[in-house]
Amino acid sequence: MNISAADVNKLRQMTGAGMMDCKKALTEANGDFETAIDILRKKGQKIAAARADRTSGEGTVFAKTSPDGKQAVAVALGCETDFVAKTEGFIKMGNAILEVAYSQKPDSIEALNSLAIEGRSIAEHLTDMMGKIGEKIEILTYEVITGERVVAYLHGAKIGVLVALTKVGGDAETAGKDVAMQIAAMRPISLDKDGVPTDLIEREIEIGKEQARAEGKPEAMLEKIAMGKLTKFYKDYTLLNQEFIKDNKLSVSQYLDSVSKGMTVNAYKRIGIGGV
């Protein structure tokens, strides 16, 4: 069957697929556009399967806060190259997924993938994009956080932070953004020392003892030295105990208290793409 250039271009405009792919699909479909679209979707599914083991090390984080400031949602959409992450179609899809996540609050990435945009599931839309672009595209992270005051912060395209404050007062919005920047830069492992896993604490104590032993310290002193090192570990890696990056004379906890007496962080989420 003779497929015209106008028909190929029409299918390309409808699907975003390459010209040659559109021509092959129309030829295989004997000129039927709906069948050709299905063929291109199937091609996308094949690409998705072929790239299942590829790493989505690039992408963009999208975030939205409710008008009352009590809830925020973040979605990280991943791809293989920074070029794709910056394209209009990729960003449009990321924002569309964010809106669905924000409005429906599914309980997992799997549930989010099953929700619909314009009558088709998000998973199907992502498969179509893989067929058009030729890269693995997937939702890497989906987070929801609620609180008395929640602040969402994006640090470039690849890092997003959600912070929930309690006992709110003063300029909580600015304080929340300051703490979110701290989390983005310093990557705390937990809110405070109570959130550090027991096995990690035990490992740090053991490391501290070995370091002290290697320095020739007396065996009777090892436990005390190791506990001192553990205190330093908490200061370096737990959010509320970290030095505040804008004023290292204060801890994050002290900074928040200075903004409004008793104000603190009761939850946070840090979303990073590609190990950042």
Give per-residue pLDDT as tens, 208-220. Answer: 999 999 999 999 9
Within a domain: 106: yes
Task: Write down the pLDDT at residue 159.
Answer: 98
Task: Write down the pLDDT at residue 132.
Answer: 86
Contacts of 264 (CB under 8 A, 6+ apart): 165, 166, 167, 240, 253, 256, 257
With 80 as the cut, is the pLDDT of residue 1 above it?
no
Same-domain pairing of 56 and 126: yes
- What amino acid occupies position 264? T
Number of domains the chain is built from:
2
Same-domain pairing of 56 and 138: yes
**Pairwise CA distance, residues 12 & 25, whole Å:** 11
Local confidence band at 44 (pLDDT 50, 70, 90 cut-offs)? confident
- Per the model's pLDDT, the better-predicted residue between 118 and 132 turns out to be 118
Within a domain: 215: no
Please give the average per-residue pLDDT across 189-207, as a whole number.
95
Within a domain: 169: no
Same-domain pairing of 74 and 29: no
Within a domain: 74: yes
Return phi, psi of residue 62, to 5°: -120, 140
Q: What's the pTM value of the predicted model, to 2 decimals? A: 0.87
Other Cβ atoms less than 10 A from the Cβ of 107: the count is 9
Within a domain: 139: yes
Q: Is 145 helix (H, G, I), strand (E, B) or coil?
A: strand
Q: Which structural domain range is residue 9 located in?
A: 5-50
Same-domain pairing of 13 and 75: no
Instruction: Tell me the sheet residues that pair with 117.
Output: 120
Same-domain pairing of 72 and 13: no
Contacts of 208 (CB under 8 A, 6+ apart): 222, 225, 226, 227, 228, 229, 230
Within a domain: 262: no
Same-domain pairing of 10 and 96: no
**Which among 121, 72, 67, 132 is positioned nearest to 96, based on CA atoms?**
121
Please give the average per-residue pLDDT across 41-45, as a whole number.
87
Same-domain pairing of 56 and 136: yes
Within a domain: 219: no
CATH number assigned to the domain comprising residue 16: 1.10.8.10
Same-domain pairing of 86 and 129: yes
Same-domain pairing of 15 and 56: no
Contacts of 272 (CB under 8 A, 6+ apart): 61, 158, 159, 160, 187
Same-domain pairing of 43 and 69: no
With 80 as the cut, is the pLDDT of residue 171 above it?
yes
Contacts of 140 (CB under 8 A, 6+ apart): 56, 59, 76, 77, 78, 273
Instruction: Tell me the sheet residues that pair with 71.
Output: 146
Same-domain pairing of 101 and 133: yes
Local confidence band at 166 (pLDDT 50, 70, 90 cut-offs)? very high
For 252-269, write each residue's pLDDT tens digit: 999 999 999 999 999 999
Same-domain pairing of 74 and 10: no
